[in-house]
């Protein structure tokens, strides 16, 4: 019999409160109805990658860039990345960038991503119906010439939560205290970020029913100083000994807080941040939750080469499709064996469907908010 995580929530699901999430239906990749095409074996696609921020976040945008570089190195695409910036002033120019690259007619595919881009993309994609677009990490609109990629970040969060919840119980491990508190630094209080959080809390509770989770939001993805400030408070005031940063570059400030206080560990997100951090920050980054944006872009071009087009569709990628995962080598292997075993068991259970993790995407019951409040330290 399947082990339904929703049972855990029975005590916290109260009067419905709208979560304000994305519109449009989302289907998993394995259930996707693909449009079979002839395929263009050997075609080299010209791609434009629009970054609504900057590279160097050691996370989301860097993951996308790595996937495109892998495709280019394999001779499958040529690409141009344009860093549009992430400030308020920069944001005013995002639609102009989209319009300019669309009007050029140079690109087979134009790529953008995150919750900030769908309105801009909708305006431009409708004006250029023959241009193909990919938007990752968003399901707001359904447009005939746009492929929406999303990820089972709730499953990813569950794996990370199992790791953090199990680790904070083992006081024999350096810097782990007896207070049983873990932290979550989110970029913004949104359905996507709370999807990570939902799984994180439930995963932690699955191995540590009494765990407390200190959740805070930076308000953006480009302010590491604020992320550091929030994490320092978690660590010093509430005795957090494990902090997960799900906030792009803002989250990297939480890693600095963990390293500088010398009292906590950090968990990365989206890419393997142990590999991209400085030596000092890598030393306290024990694992990373992988939202494999780069791998998902490779999947798209694999599908195109196979003659499977997904324009006008929403495709959700999970563990089995390589869309999400967790790092289980390097520093991860230095953690207690019981922690590693718990994570590996969770991977098997989620992959097989024995554990079904609920999602904040599309939830209008207020379950995530209720759960978040119930585990405050």
**What are 105-138's pLDDT values in tens digits?**
999 999 999 889 999 999 999 999 999 999 998 8
- pLDDT per residue over 55-111, tens digit each? 987 667 988 999 999 999 999 999 999 999 999 999 999 999 999 999 999 999 999
3-state DSSP assignment of residue 101: helix
Q: How far apart are CA 118 and CA 40, in angstroms?
A: 29
- Cβ of 111: how many Cβ atoms within 10 Å? 25
Instruction: Give helix 191-207 / helix 337-352 axis angle, nearest 10°.
Output: 120
Q: Which of 153, 192, 149, 152 is nearest to 299 (CA)?
A: 149
Instruction: For the beta carbon of residue 15, count every other beta carbon within 10 angstroms.
Output: 7
Residue 200 within a domain: yes
Q: What are phi and psi of 128, to 5 degrees?
A: -130, 70
Assigned domain for 2 exists: no
Same-domain pairing of 259 and 353: yes
Per-residue model confidence (pLDDT) at position 185: 98
Same domain, 174 and 222: yes
pLDDT band for position 1 (cuts 50, 70, 90) = very low
What is the reported pLDDT for 41?
62
Residues 259 and 212 in one domain: yes
C-alpha–C-alpha distance, residues 155 and 134, integer Å: 23
Q: What range does the domain containing 180 cover?
A: 153-292+322-374
- What three-state secondary structure class fits 197? helix
Could you tell me if residue 209 is inside a domain?
yes
Whole-model pTM?
0.75
- Looking at the structure, tell me whether residues 263 and 147 fall in a common domain: no
**Is residue 71 a part of any domain in this protein?**
yes
Q: Report the half-sphere exposure of 265 (CA within 13 A, side-chain side).
A: 26
Whether residue 309 is predicted with pLDDT greater than 90 in this model: the reply is yes
The CA-based dihedral angle spanning residues 226, 232, 234, 235, taken in that order and rounded to the nearest 10 degrees:
160
Residue 12 lies in a domain: no
* Residue 7: inside a domain: no
In a domain, 8, yes or no: no
Q: Which of 294, 221, 232, 217 is nearest to 263 (CA)?
A: 232
Q: Report the CATH number that the domain containing residue 122 is assigned in CATH.
A: 3.40.50.2300
Check whether residue 214 and residue 264 sit in a common domain.
yes
Contacts of 147 (CB under 8 A, 6+ apart): 132, 133, 134, 135, 300, 310, 311, 312, 313, 315
Query: Is residue 1 one of the residues assigned to a domain?
Result: no
- The percent of residues above 70 in pLDDT, for the chain, comes to 89
Domain tally, the chain: 2
252's enclosing H/E stretch is helix 249-261
State how far the alpha carbon of 119 is from the alpha carbons of 95, 109, 143, 328, in Å. Answer: 9, 18, 12, 37
- Tell me the H-state helices in 135-278: 153-167, 191-207, 224-238, 249-261, 273-276
83 shares a domain with 206 = no
Distance CA 138, CA 96 (A): 20
Token couple for 85:
């910036």
Specify whether 234 is located in the same domain as 361: yes
DSSP label at residue 7: G
In the structure, what pLDDT confidence band is assigned to residue 314 with cuts at 50, 70 and 90? very high
Shared-domain flag, residues 339 and 213: yes
Residue located via tokens 């996507």: 192
- Can you list the positions of beta strands (E) in the chain? 3-4, 27-28, 35-36, 45-51, 77-83, 109-113, 132-136, 146-151, 181-186, 212-217, 242-246, 265-269, 285-291, 308-309, 314-317, 324-326, 355-356
DSSP string, 58-97: SSHHHHHHHHHHHHHHTTSEEEEEEE---SHHHHTTHHHH
Instruction: Indicate whether 147 and 199 sit together in one domain.
Output: no
Q: Say if residue 142 is in the same domain as residue 230.
A: no
- The Cα 284–Cα 214 span in angstroms is 19
Domain identity same for 224 and 334: yes
Is 174 in the same domain as 125? Answer: no
């Amino acid at each position: 019999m399947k082990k339904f995580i929703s049972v855990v929530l029975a005590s916290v699901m109260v009067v419905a409160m709208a979560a304000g999430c994305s519109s449009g239906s989302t289907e998993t990749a394995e259930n996707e109805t693909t449009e079979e095409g002839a395929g263009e074996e050997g075609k080299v696609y010209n791609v434009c990658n629009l970054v609504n921020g900057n590279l160097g976040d050691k996370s989301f945008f860097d993951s996308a860039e790595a996937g495109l570089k892998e495709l280019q190195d394999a001779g499958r695409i040529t690409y141009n990345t344009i860093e549009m910036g992430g400030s308020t002033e920069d944001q005013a120019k995002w639609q102009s960038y989209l319009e300019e690259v669309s009007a050029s007619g140079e690109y087979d595919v134009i790529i953008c991503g995150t919750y900030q881009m769908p309105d801009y993309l909708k305006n431009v994609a409708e004006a250029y119906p023959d241009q193909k677009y990919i938007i990752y990490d968003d399901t707001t609109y359904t447009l005939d010439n746009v492929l929406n990629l999303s990820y089972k970040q709730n499953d990813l969060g569950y794996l990370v939560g199992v790791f953090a919840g199990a680790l904070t119980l083992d006081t024999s491990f350096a810097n782990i205290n007896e207070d049983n508190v873990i932290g979550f630094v989110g970029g913004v209080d949104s359905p996507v970020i709370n999807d990570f959080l939902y799984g994180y809390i439930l995963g932690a509770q699955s191995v540590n029913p009494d765990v407390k989770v200190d959740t805070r939001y930076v308000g953006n993805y480009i302010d590491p100083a604020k992320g550091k400030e929030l994490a320092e408070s978690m660590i010093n005031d509430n005795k957090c000994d494990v902090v997960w940063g799900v906030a792009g570059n803002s989250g990297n400030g939480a890693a600095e807080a963990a390293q500088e206080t010398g009292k906590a560990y950090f968990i990365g997100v989206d890419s393997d941040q142990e590999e991209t951090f400085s030596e000092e920050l890598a030393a306290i980054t024990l694992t990373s939750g992988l939202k494999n944006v780069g791998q998902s872009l490779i999947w798209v071009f694999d599908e195109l080469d196979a003659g499977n087009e997904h324009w006008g569709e929403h495709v959700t990628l999970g563990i089995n499709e390589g869309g999400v995962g967790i790092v289980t080598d390097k520093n991860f292997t230095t953690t207690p064996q019981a922690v590693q075993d718990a994570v590996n068991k969770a991977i098997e259970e989620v992959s097989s469907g024995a554990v079904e993790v609920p999602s904040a995407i599309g939830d209008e019951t207020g379950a995530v908010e209720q759960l978040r409040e119930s585990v405050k330290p």
